Amino acid sequence: MKLITAVIKPFRLDDVRNALAEVGVQGMTVTEVKGFGRQRGHTELYRGAEYVVDFLPKVKIEVAVVDDMVERAIEAIIDSAKTGKVGDGKIFVTDLGQVYRIRTGETGDEAI
Amino acid sequence: MTKNKNALVFCAAVAAGIAPGVVHAQALEDGSTAWLLTSTALVLFMTLPGLALFYGGLVRSRNVLSVLMQCFAICCVVSVLWFAFGYSLAFTDGGNAGMLGGLSKAWLAGVELDSVSGAIPETVFVMFQMTFAIITPALIVGGFAERMRFAAMLAFSVLWLLVVYLPVTHWVWGGGWLASIGFRDFAGGAVVHVNAGVAALVAALVLGNRTGFPATPMPPHSLPMTVMGASMLWVGWFGFNAGSALTAGGAAGMAMLVTHLAAASGSLAWTTMEWLKFGKPSVLGIVTGMVAGLGTITPAAGFVGPFGGFVIGLVAGVVCFWATQLIKRRLQIDDSLDVFPVHGVGGFTGLLLTAVFSSTALDGLGLGEATMLGQLGVQLIGAVATLVWCGVASYVILKLVNVALPLRVTREQENEGLDLVLHGERGYST
């Protein structure tokens, strides 16, 4: 089991959500976050006062998947989130120790 | 000629050294009364909620309530002071060479149901002028926003009204010494805008910059709120300037026309400057240009024609834009909401341009007996006198208040925000 954490451009969220659903992902957690990478921030100007805003709004998606779905899910995210410009985001994949479904007490692949 | 009859009556009154408030020869007119009742409401509307929202949007979210509260409290306190002695000290004869009025109308003694001032009931004149006395200290709030203690702010506002606003009003509109030398300030270029701008600058210098200025970003927390407030100011300004004709005739109509044109051309000029210099036309820029245009046309509103209004607005947009860059960026003085570069510089510029665009050769309503150069000298005397008196007195008042009531919140309180620390409330749920 893996936890896929993707940080993407907010306006791509609907596409990513649909692409993941198409490959069989049944649930996800979405958080509005801020951050910067190579894109860096942007500048704002108020009556000539310039402010550099380092942290840009992004959306973080967390998806838990069974091992044989990892490749397909990552491909789906890359295809749907990609604009080709800096700032498209990153995908982090981590091992999942255990998963529980609270309602039934199921664990492991069954709980995903 | 009928179009300008009231303007001419007014100009003649000013030229004769008689301020409009103390002309008693005219008969009561229903139309003028109705317009001045309306104007009074419009000018109050400029402060509440217009200016309060304009300023409220410009500060950070943790201080939004403090600014609204300051404007509201100033309105209430000044109203009571106006009733107690303010009106009397501004608009009666004090027998002291036109420096300050007397106390013969303290507690509004003698202001009865049928008292008349010019073409309107004296009650209406009292109320109309009260709204000017309210907005002027409220404008100063922009200079010390986000760091002044509420109690010290109240003490400062009370003393400032007494020592600066009332004398200057008397000089200009109460039959005082500036009125008698023919100084032209139709609706408050000196009384309201130079006064408020200079006091805000002095307050910013005495209190010191906000913690973190200029390194820390302090962007406006709600520009939509600021735009709403600015738009209310534009509308309210019709009461401010066209109401200052104190009649409902052609003078009021012309004042409204030139006021509107100056607001429009001021906005466009500022936006153009910004677009050229920074590459983007900003919303904050266009509304700031509007305020600059309006503040600058204020002294001239009853003396110039449409051409004058248009050009004065253009000049305001350019001059106030550069003044803002100079004060805030170059000199790094944290006049937080740019009161001095917009109102002080605008008002001062407008007072000088009044002499120029009053000329009939430039579409103005005439200079009376004066020459343009002579009038320019008089305007300079009035503007500088206001600037110096206000600057020195504001400094002394702030230093005195600071002895009894510290002017500034602590650094920690400033970081937490005045809303929570001073008022025990939050503007927004988190």
Q: Is the CB of A45 less than 8 angstroms away from the CB of B278?
A: yes
Interatomic CA distance for residues A66 and A74, integer angstroms: 12
Give the minimum alpha-carbon distance from A6 to chain B in angstroms, rounded to a whole number: 27
Residue spans of the domains in chain B: they are: 29-423
- What residue in B sits closest to A53 (Cα-Cα)? B217
Q: Whose structure tokens read 């005195």?
A: B400
Rg of chain B on CA atoms, in Å: 20
Q: Which residues of chain B have pLDDT under 70?
A: 1-25
Q: Which residue, B161, B200, B184, is CA-closest to B327?
A: B200
Q: At CB < 8 A and 24+ separation, what contacts does A92-98 make?
A: A92/A4, A92/A5, A92/A6, A93/A2, A93/A3, A93/A4, A93/A5, A94/A2, A94/A3, A94/A5, A95/A1, A95/A2, A95/A3, A96/A1, A96/A2, A96/A3, A96/A64
pLDDT score, position A51: 84
| Residues B188, B298 contacting (CB under 8 angstroms) | yes
CA distances from A45 to B14, B63, B219, B280, B408 (A): 44, 21, 9, 9, 28
Q: Find how far residue B43's CA is from the centre of its chain.
A: 11
pLDDT score, position B4: 42
**Interface predicted TM-score of the whole assembly (ipTM), two decimals:** 0.75
Could you give the 3-state DSSP secondary structure of residue B214? coil
Q: To which H or E segment does residue A8 belong?
A: strand A2-8
pLDDT score, position B25: 57
pLDDT score, position A22: 96
Q: Is the CB of A47 less than 8 angstroms away from the CB of B284?
A: yes
- Across B312-342, b (16+ Cβ under 10 Å) vs e yields bbbbbbbbbbebbbebbeeeebbbbbbbbbb
- Across B117-153, b (16+ Cβ under 10 Å) vs e yields bbbbbbbbbbbbbbbbbbbbbbbbbbbbbbbbbbebb
Q: Nearest Cβ partner of B285 from A44, A47, A53?
A: A47
Phi, psi of A107 (to 5 degrees): -135, 170
- Chain A residues with CB under 8 Å of B219 CB are 44, 46, 51
Q: What is the pLDDT of residues A48-90, one digit of tens each?
A: 888 888 889 999 999 999 999 999 999 999 999 999 999 999 9
Q: What is the pLDDT of residues A6-50, one digit of tens each?
A: 999 999 999 999 999 999 999 999 999 999 888 778 888 898 888
CA distances from A98 to A42, A94, B44, B116, B164 (A): 40, 12, 65, 87, 74
Q: Is the CB of B274 less than 8 angstroms away from the CB of A49?
A: no
Domains and CATH numbers, chain A: 2-111 (3.30.70.120)
Q: Which residue, B207, B211, B220, B236, is CA-closest to B143?
A: B207
pTM of the model: 0.87
- Chain A residues with CB under 8 Å of B285 CB are 47
Q: CATH number of the domain at B29-423, out of 2.40.30.10, 1.10.3430.10, 3.40.50.2300, 1.10.3470.10?
A: 1.10.3430.10
- What residue in B sits closest to A44 (Cα-Cα)? B219
| Residues B273, B90 contacting (CB under 8 angstroms) | no
| Residues B323, B198 contacting (CB under 8 angstroms) | no
User: In sequence order, what are the beta bridge partners of A8?
Assistant: A59, A89
| Residues A8, A77 contacting (CB under 8 angstroms) | yes
- B384–chain A Cβ distance below 8 A for any pair: no
- B278–chain A Cβ distance below 8 A for any pair: yes
- B325–chain A Cβ distance below 8 A for any pair: yes
Q: Which residue, B60, B58, B137, B105, is CA-closest to B337?
A: B58
- In the stretch 42-81 of chain A, residues with CB closer than 8 A to chain B read 44-49, 51-53
Q: What is the pLDDT of residues B5-30, one digit of tens each?
A: 444 444 444 444 444 444 445 799 99
Q: To which H or E segment does residue B224 belong?
A: helix B223-242
Other Cβ atoms within 10 Å of A19 Cβ, number: 20
Q: Is the CB of B324 less than 8 angstroms away from the CB of A53?
A: no
Q: To which H or E segment does residue A34 belong?
A: strand A29-35
pLDDT score, position B159: 98
Q: Which residue, B14, B393, B355, is CA-closest to B178?
A: B14
Q: Is the CB of B214 less than 8 angstroms away from the CB of A49?
A: yes
| Residues B382, B172 contacting (CB under 8 angstroms) | yes
